[in-house]
Amino acid sequence: MTGPEFLKRLPEALNGDAVAGIASTIQFNLSSPAYIQIIDGKCTVHEGTTDAPDVSLGMSDEDLVALLTGKIDGVSAYMSGRLQVDGDLMLAKDIPSFFDTAKLC
């Protein structure tokens, strides 16, 4: 499964309690760029790039799936260079908690 295909599954796995009060745009620089917007407890996925993301994450499609399903730790991926982050580091750290990994596996 490609990273963009995986991202399309995120809205069904959104943890509403974890994103309460969050309004963010997250850019994923993958094999095909895509971004998600989390606003008012809802998640939407868009192909391409956005002009002003709150945070941009660069990684392989495989690492994205592993990160959001809990198979790799974001801090470890960042420290080893498998994950590049530009923007709000605290938001980037919290992204895996926004989704129910059981629904993504």
Helix residue spans in 1-105 (DSSP H): 3-7, 10-13, 61-68, 74-79, 89-94, 101-104
Instruction: Identify the pLDDT of residue 105.
Output: 77
Question: Is 80 exceeded by the pLDDT of residue 22?
Answer: yes
Instruction: Identify the pLDDT of residue 82.
Output: 96
Instruction: Identify the pLDDT of residue 7.
Output: 96
Residue 13 lies inside a defined structural domain of this protein:
yes
Question: Is 80 exceeded by the pLDDT of residue 59?
Answer: yes
pTM, rounded to two decimals: 0.93
Question: Is 90 exceeded by the pLDDT of residue 37?
Answer: yes
Residue 20 lies inside a defined structural domain of this protein:
yes
Residue 16 lies inside a defined structural domain of this protein:
yes
Mean pLDDT of 72-100: 95
CATH value at residue 65: 3.30.1050.10
Residue 31 near residue 2 (C-beta atoms within 8 A): yes
